[in-house]
Structure 1
Amino acid sequence: MRAFVEIRRVVLQQSDIKEQLKQIQQRIGEYNGQLSAIYDAIENLLDDKTAQRKWEERERIGFKKQKKMNPYQQLIKALHAYPSKTWINRYFDLQRKLLQTLEIENDDPRLGLSLNKNGSMPVNLGQRYVLRPIPNGSIGCIVPIDFDVEYIEGSVVFEFSSGKMKDAMFLQLNFEKHKPLPAMLWQACLLCCEDILRHCHKSGYRKFHQPLLYDFTMEPAVRYEILSGVNIME
């Protein structure tokens, strides 16, 4: 009788163990389902991030913001618009002569050598343009209002006024045709520049001043090195 009771107890214990094992398996199964759900959620988030990154890095259409060029790149691009390296050297020799005659240094606040986005490179004294190269082979320069334009076969681009009185004008002339620059024109331009410098303390264009353009004008070695990177006719 005792043996039978002992056997029955062992069997019942095994049944309890089986039931516990079954419950454990069910719980593990539930956790697997929860873990799978978590993994799926993580994968979906990663997919969303990837899709967002691809969208942000997509090839854009329409207006594209260009990377800003540094002064050296701007100068190289601007120089490609002019007729030849010989023409460029001749013009910047004239510009150097003007600055040397006026004794204008790079740090003079009355000077502004601009390098504009459209490629123009005017010399500014005070509030006025005084000299400028033009890609078509012409140049512009300032002269007194009573200068004889027909003498150089030039044309008036615009006029300057002091108060209500016109006192100077900016001319355009064929630089190739005038070799060398007529002495009368040079003196007239110089006269205007000297008058501007006597009456101004700072150029309104000073904030646009490019020291590189000054070095290109004044230093032959700098000019030679920069022109070596310009692919135009000699």
Structure 2
Amino acid sequence: MTGDTTRSLHAPRAAAAGGPGLFITFEGGDGAGKTTQAALLEQWVRTRGRNVVRTREPGGTEVGLRIRDIVLHHRGHIDPRAEALLYAADRAHHIATHVRPAVARGDVVIQDRYLDSSVAYQGAGRVLDADDVRALSLWATDGLLPDLTVLLDLDPADARRRLDADDKPFDRLEAEKEEFHARVRDGFLALASAEPERFLVLDARAAPDELAAQVQDAVTARLR
């Protein structure tokens, strides 16, 4: 991997969401179980009487759905820098029109992927400079960081077995070789190591209810 992933965490103007709401993101490689855990957390938070906005990147807005189709399903080659810019464009619109207003209202935003995915996938995976990728996302979002990021860590070989069991066509990133996904995993772990106060790193091999309980504990602490 080129670029210093840990150094990239010190770009200027990064700040947690603030406001009366809460911004929670789920990160990890493909097949780690992010969607399952986001759904379980949504159900749990709603039982606590809080309004929840469940969203994802890319594709959390109408504009984002068009970008998602390009970055995940375009059959031809996309230059890695162009790919990073497309994700940043989706992120800028999504945060400005969807996430920030929800946090300002006091909602709990639960999101599948955010800027850490760009640093891991385009920075580490595509071997771009991690500082540049992170700085691009921070500029696009005016420095917004989540209050909590849950990283579901899973060996790429285990993840591939899960994806194979789903018997669904792979998107552009899922179809990448194991070396790519190994770099992505290393990128995520480096990010978590540099920001332990924001990240909750969990072994994605654990049972879903066990993982959910650990996530709930972390969210409870922040809701207080």
Structure whose CA Rg is larger: 1
**More relative contact order in 1 or in 2 (CA 8 Å, sep 6+)?**
2
Q: TM-score, normalised by structure 1?
A: 0.26
Q: TM-score, normalised by structure 2?
A: 0.27
